[in-house]
Each structure stands twice: as structure tokens, then as C-alpha cells.
Structure 1
Amino acid sequence: MAAAFQLDVLAASVPFFRGKCVSVVIPTTDGEYGVLAGHCNAVGAVTAGELQFETEEGERRRAAVAQGLFKIDGDRVLLLLDAAERPEDIDVNRALRAREEAEEALRQKHSMAEYQLAQGNLARALNRLRVSGKM
């Protein structure tokens, strides 16, 4: 049996998951960052994407996550995220509407700030659709 470590995922200061895991794959600005027990200490940025982890019992879980931070310290991994959603909790119709609204906002000629906001909204909507399996 693989060695386990403590994984704490907090989304907007609310516990999303707390428990023992044998692996976690974190979406980061540099790509996917895999962690197993005994990993060296590290701190980094989480980007919108798919979080994947395997519990001590062998259950594989996934979540659509928004940006945040991660910290690996000894046998504990802490993720502080703006948001996290299980695939079954994603409102696909809402995500589709958000994608359409963001795409329309990108077609409009607005300020750079509005353009960047629309890009972020589009990325979040596409991520939610991908994790939900509806894309």
C-alpha cells in the first residue's frame, strides 16, 4: 500500500476536502504538478484547471478548481482556492451560458480590463465544462 499524506483543500475558506491521500495532481501555471508522500516542501500558484487526487482507500476524485495557492510541508498538502467543484455539482447549463456571455464580451470592443475579465470568465466556463465531461 502506498504511503499517505494529509490533503486539505479549502475553497473560499470553506473545507472542500480533508483527508488522507496517496497522490494529488495540481494544475499550476507551469503545468500539472504531481505530489506523492515524501515530496519535498514547496509553495506555488494554482491555476484554473482540473484537480485530481486519490484517497487512501483508492478512490479517485476530480474537481474543477479556480486559481489559488498550494503549500507542501512535510506530510501535509494545503490548497487555498477561490473555488472548487465536483463534476457532479457543476451546473452545465450555467457554464454554457457563461461561456456564451464571455465569448460575446470578447467580440465586443471594450477596455483591456474588460477584455481580460472576459478571458478569465471564458477560461473558467471552459474548465467547468471540461471537468463535467460535457465538452
Structure 2
Amino acid sequence: MSKKLRLEIVTPDRIVYSDDISSLVVRAVDGDIGILYNHAPLIATLKEWPAKLNMLDGTSRFISIAAGFIEVKHNKITILTPAAEVPEEIDYDRAMAAKERAEKRLAQKKEVDVQRAEAALHRALARLNTIKYSSEK
């Protein structure tokens, strides 16, 4: 019997990923979580950050996660997120422009919706880091 986990990353629009992996690392609100075979049941809230998928062939893959929730049960992992992107779908220039816009908004001392600007910044950083980590393989 192989020690594999079934991972599904689901957004309101589509299933972004559905396949077997050997392990997963995601960023929860209280720190990074590593999921291995036979992990205890878990439900956690996720932050915006690239999920690191360790594949069965020993390689790694990264998928940008825009917050959400993770459930682990019986070697099946489900991530529910408002948005998720594989590196090939991410437009680097657009993500960089979004990051710069959010940073400018946060630097202003005027009436700024800080939570909204911070969320935009975190989403942009998740996308940019997904590209960065994917190219470092």
C-alpha cells in the first residue's frame, strides 16, 4: 500500500487541483502546517500563501491559495478557497502592479480601507511567491 494523500483544491468556480500527493505544506492563521500520510483529522483556517505540494515522484509543486479552509480526514485533504492559481495562470506583471497599488494605499494616511488593502497585498504576494518558488525548483 502506497502512502499517498488525495488532495482537492476547490474554488467557487472550479476544481483547481485533484490528484494524489505524498505531503502538503500550507500556511494557517497560526503558522505553517505539514500534512503527511495518516495525519490526524483537522480543520483549519488558511492564510494567503503558496501551498507546497510534494508529489509522489519526489518533485514539488506550488499553488497560490487566497485564504480559505483546509480539512484533513482519512488521508483526504480538501482546501476550500475563494481563489487558487497554478503558476502558469499567474500574470507576473499584473500581480506586481496589484502589490504596488496595495502598498501605495497602505502608505497613505488618508481614508483607506486598511483591511482591504492588506488583503490585496497578501493575495499579490501569494501569487508572486508562487511564481518565485516554482522557478527555484
TM-score (normalizing by structure 2): 0.87
* Aligned residue in 2 for 1:67: 67
> Is the Cα contact below 8 Å between 2:23 and 2:37 reproduced in 1?
yes
> Is the Cα contact below 8 Å between 1:12 and 1:82 reproduced in 2?
yes
Q: Share of identical aligned residues, percent?
A: 29
Greater strand share, structure number: 1
Deviations 1:82-104 (A, max 9, x none): 11111222111101111121122
Shift of residue 13, structure 1, vs aligned partner:
4.4
**Unmatched tracts of structure 2, length 5 or more:** none
> Is the Cα contact below 8 Å between 1:51 and 1:65 reproduced in 2?
yes
Q: Detail structure 1 runs of 4+ shifted over 4 Å in the superposition.
A: none
Distance in 1 separating the partners of 2:54 and 2:129: 19
Equivalent position SS for 2:22 = strand
Distance in 2 separating the partners of 1:98 and 1:131: 15
Indicate whether 1:127 and 2:123 are aligned.
Answer: no
- Size of the aligned set, in residue pairs, is 132
> Is the Cα contact below 8 Å between 2:51 and 2:63 reproduced in 1?
yes
TM-score (normalizing by structure 1): 0.88
Shift of residue 2, structure 1, vs aligned partner:
5.4
